[in-house]
Amino acid sequence: MATVKLTDVRKSYGSVEVIRGVNIDIEDGEFVVFVGPSGCGKSTLLRMISGLEDITAGTIEIDGRVVNDLPPKERGIAMVFQTYAIFPHMTVRENVAFGLTINRTPRAEKERKVQEAARILQMEHLLDRRPSQLSGGQRQRVAIGRAIVRDPKVFLFDEPLSNLDAALRMDMRMEIGKLHQKLAATMIYVTHDQVEAMTLADKIVVLKDGKVMQVGAPMELYHEPANLFVAGFLGAPSMNFIEVVVESVRGGEARVSNEALDPIVVSTRGRPFADGDHAILGVRPQYLRPVEDAAGKLHGIISLTERLGSETIVEVALKDGKPLIAALSEDRVYATGTRIGFDFDVGKAQLFPREA
């Protein structure tokens, strides 16, 4: 069990800087998820922590010790790969025991640990099989088993579930969650699936173009995103961004409006705005409530309805022609082409400066 600390970590490939000064503090036993769009550097960052990739600048500490120049095997980490990376010529038992065999663990202890891992992952009956005789989910279990038996200080997962189908992914996601509770180990988990991030994480690190956009607990990021990118990245359907004009700013509150939006007063959350600024109002689709057209704050015409059973997604063309998505909790058919108004809790709306 250990802490992990990244200080101004950078990585360049030739002249291209792909990790651009990352600072992250991970506490003992924490489950941290790195999320971000493809190519933002999640894997690179994880591989730098593992030691598979060397770092161009900055320091990485594991358990208070700088590991910049240590090879992977001396960092006390275990890693689970997206492609499982289990050895095809070995049985499941040999795969799980690989690290123990390498460091010459006595036979009895090795067998005990393998059995223990197999029990935790419910794969005792698979131990004598070969990887080719396993399903994707079972292979990933083997890879996790191989990580568990060595009692690493830190577990690293690089998109471990993205090669699995949707149903299996959910099962395995829950199992990884349980595993974290059971082992109480520090885990770093890379994914671009925001559901995995929201459900598993104690702390989410949102990355974009090699930079940290925001770090925080899942609900903190969901309710109080620090910027437009995080606001748009987390939550499904993603947050509505409505272009507004700031009419006036007073005492931490701004009065904003546009063609389709009656003037409202929202908190600036300390962000600087001036009268006449163009800004972005963020409203989650879930916060919109349908009301009589005349009564709502936003007005438009329904262009599409999708009924998912648990909720109904309604796409509306606002008066200024911009689309608006609402996620309504009731299962109801809204006729395309009818006028509709929406109300929302102003306290939950976010006001962002328009990005330059």
> Per-residue x/- mask for another protein, residues 142 to 161, rule CB under 8 A?
-x--x---x-----------
Nearest to 160 by CA among 113, 216, 121: 121
Which range of residues in 55-63, 95-103, 163-171, 304-312 is near another protein by CB under 8 A? 95-103
Which range of residues in 25-33, 56-64, 99-107, 173-181 is near another protein by CB under 8 A? 99-107
Q: What is the 3-state secondary structure (H, E, C) of 317-347?
A: EECCCCEEEEEECCCCCCCCCCEEEEECCHH
Query: Using CB distances below 5 to 8 A depending on partner kind, what does residue 132 bind out of ligand ATP, Mg ion, another protein, none?
Result: none
Give me the least distance between CB of 161 and ligand ATP, in Å please: 13
Judged by CB under 6 A, does residue 44 bind ligand ATP?
A: yes
Tell me the site size for Mg ion, rule CB under 5 A.
1
Give me the least distance between CB of 31 and another protein, in Å please: 19
Of residues 104 through 143, those in contact with another protein by CB under 8 A are 143
Of residues 8 through 37, those in contact with ligand ATP by CB under 6 A are 13, 18, 36
The CA distances from residue 111 to 97, 106, 128, 130, in Å, are: 8, 9, 13, 18
Quote the CA–CA distance of 162 and 171 in Å, as a whole number: 13
Which range of residues in 40-48, 198-206, 283-291, 292-300 is near ligand ATP by CB under 6 A? 40-48
Query: Using CB distances below 5 to 8 A depending on partner kind, what does residue 39 bind out of ligand ATP, Mg ion, another protein, none?
Result: ligand ATP
Give the residue closest to ligand ATP by C-beta.
43
Q: Which of 99, 218, 290, 296 binds another protein (CB under 8 A)?
A: 99
Question: What is the 8-class DSSP label of residue 238?
Answer: P
Of residues 61 through 90, those in contact with another protein by CB under 8 A are 71-73, 77-79, 81, 83-89
Q: What tokens appear for 44 in the block?
A: 């690179």
- The sign one gets for the Cα dihedral 108, 147, 122, 184 is positive
| DSSP secondary structure, 169-224, as one string | HHHHHHHHHHHHHHH--EEEEE-S-HHHHHHH-SEEEEEETTEEEEEE-HHHHHHS
Of residues 217 through 256, those in contact with another protein by CB under 8 A are none
What's the one-letter identity of residue 48?
M
Strand 240-250 vs strand 253-258: parallel, antiparallel, or unpaired?
Answer: antiparallel
Which residues of this protein are in contact with ligand ATP, per CB under 6 A?
Answer: 13, 18, 36, 38-44, 192
Which residues of this protein are in contact with Mg ion, per CB under 5 A?
Answer: 43
